[in-house]
Amino acid sequence: MKLKTKDMIYAGAFAALYVVAVLIVMMLVGTIPVIYIACPLLLGIFCGTIYLLSVLKVRKFGAALLMAVLFACIATGFDPIAFSVCIVSALIAEICMALGKYKSKKMYVISYVFFNFITASNFFRILVAKDAYIAGVRSMVGDDFADGMSRLVTPWWAWIMIVGFAVVGGIIGGLFGSKIVKKHFEKAGIV
């Protein structure tokens, strides 16, 4: 099934809503390095309902990918590593939904767990070019934040924590979003 114009409008509107929600959360918590590292968890929980509304409304290949591309264009600065993480995460999410034939609530929740890795996409740049990443952070936000980030991402276990935050945020956000959608939006006939 191909996306029709109506589907792309829905997907685009929810993608824009998702990006606005991400920006709101980032403005509230993104100024403290310790909390910034936890953004995959916080964003996963906060944005799960928006993601599920989007993909449940469209129920075709492309809704999650469109959301990830819009997010990547705004949030990654077109960094090839971070952009690639967004696209790969969205494609895996799309495959999960397709495996559930766009009917399985369980597969929608699992798809969100993979999709939520887009919220950690900028951290993946640190694996390849930590010094360049910290220098960019230093020029944009300042020495204190850059030094705090450098200390937080230096230990080997920081990666387990970041990936864990993305997974746990995706699980909680997917389950919570699924309950919200069922309770409020399915009954209203929206999805």
Return the half-sphere exposure (C-beta side, CA atoms, 13 A cut-off) of residue 168: 10
| Alpha helix positions (H), the chain | 5-29, 33-37, 39-58, 63-75, 80-99, 105-115, 124-141, 143-153, 157-180
Which tokens go with 20? 């606005």
The answer on pLDDT for 131 being more than 90 is no
Cα(16)–Cα(20) distance, integer angstroms: 6
pLDDT band at 92 (very low <50, low <70, confident <90, very high): very high
Check pLDDT > 80 for residue 190: no
Residue 39, pLDDT score: 94
Q: What is the pLDDT of residues 15-35, one digit of tens each?
A: 999 999 999 998 888 888 888
> Minimal CA–CA distance to 100: which of 91, 90, 109?
109
Is residue 173 a contact partner of residue 112, using CB atoms and an 8 Å limit? yes
What is the pTM (predicted TM-score) of this model? 0.91
Position 82 confidence tier, pLDDT thresholds 50, 70, 90: very high
| Residue 2: band (very low, low, confident or very high) from pLDDT cuts 50, 70, 90 | confident
Q: Which residue has the higher pLDDT, 86 or 131?
A: 86
pLDDT band at 178 (very low <50, low <70, confident <90, very high): very high
Q: What is the CA radius of gyration of the chain?
A: 17
Residue 121 reports pLDDT greater than 80: yes
Q: Residue range 171-180: average pLDDT?
A: 96
CA distance 74 to 68: 10
The predicted pLDDT at position 107 comes to 97
Q: pLDDT tens digit string along 41-74?
A: 999 999 999 999 999 999 999 999 999 999 999 9
